[in-house]
Amino acid sequence: MKIGARIDAVLEKQAFIQGPEVQELEQKLAEFCGAKRVVTCANGTDALQLAMMALGIGPGDAVFVPSFTYTATAEVILLLGACPIFVDTDPTTFNIDFASAENAIQKVRTVGELRPAALLTVDLFGQPVDYYEARKLADRHGLAFISDAAQGFGASFDEKRVGSNLADITTTSFFPAKPLGCYGDGGAVFTDNDEWAETIRSICLHGKGKEKYDVVRVGVNSRLDTLQAAILLPKLAIFADEIEKRHDVAQTYSELLSGHVHAINAERRRSFCLGSVYN
């Protein structure tokens, strides 16, 4: 009912583009995760592109990404004329492997054809990357650190919410299947850097300056619909409780299936050994 009431309020006011619910949502998102600045946008893919555009990433730049991720993580790099450099993923966490990333950065620097520009990590299956290791790697090589938290929003690392200043810029998606989903597409960018935030806001509004028709840069059309913001607000209000309930359900599954998992793995090892003997 709260979602319905929020939708009705938007229909009543008819402020469908950049209505007050959008600004309210940005404020509530910032409060939830501890980010200084939040800029909403049309979807999670755009959020990644906006972040890289604000950082000036383009032709001649190398962006290091895990090889196990959705195509959107890499496609925006190509759209900007930069080069995605794929690195291995950790077989236990499925997140980026930092030793592989270190080797890839060193190789690119040695070859000298591309400028190592950014480290783009991905929080996969709700599991945050090791943000401290990622930060150390990025700082060691002078890279911008962007976190794709489309699957990790709501999670915490060392008692800090994903979206806080764990990364230089964090992005997320509100696609319905994501941890916090709306009734269509939506996304957001999180940062503590005021200049980047203002640049991102300008880019997603066609490069807008102080006034509507004051275009100060090349931009795109990537606004979050007011209706989607209205839907997300009541969902965000109960998001923390929902995360706890999901965790309890997942823990129950883990406990009940633990013996079966061990049995399945043992059978796989047995089948592999038999196959080796007979083949």
DSSP state of 65: E
At residue 141, what is the residue type? H
Between CA 135 and CA 138 the distance in angstroms is: 5
Report residue 29 CA to chain centroid gap. Answer: 14
Give me the half-sphere count of Cα atoms (radius 13 Å) on the Cβ side of residue 218. Answer: 4
**256-274 tens-digit pLDDT:** 888 776 665 555 555 544 4
pLDDT, tens digit, for every residue of 12-44?
A: 999 999 999 999 999 999 999 999 999 999 999
Mean pLDDT value across the chain:
93
> Is 212 within 8 Å of 51 (Cβ atoms)?
no
Strand 156-157 relative to strand 160-161, pairing: antiparallel
Question: What are the structure tokens assigned to 96, written together?
Answer: 């980026």
Q: What is the pLDDT of residues 58-83, one digit of tens each?
A: 999 999 999 999 999 999 999 999 99
**Per-residue pLDDT tens over the stretch 160-176:** 999 999 999 999 999 99
Long-range contacts: 11-18, Cβ < 8 Å, 24+? 15/226, 16/225, 16/226, 16/227, 17/223, 17/225, 17/226, 18/223, 18/226
Instruction: Report phi then psi at 196, rounded to 5.
Output: -65, -40
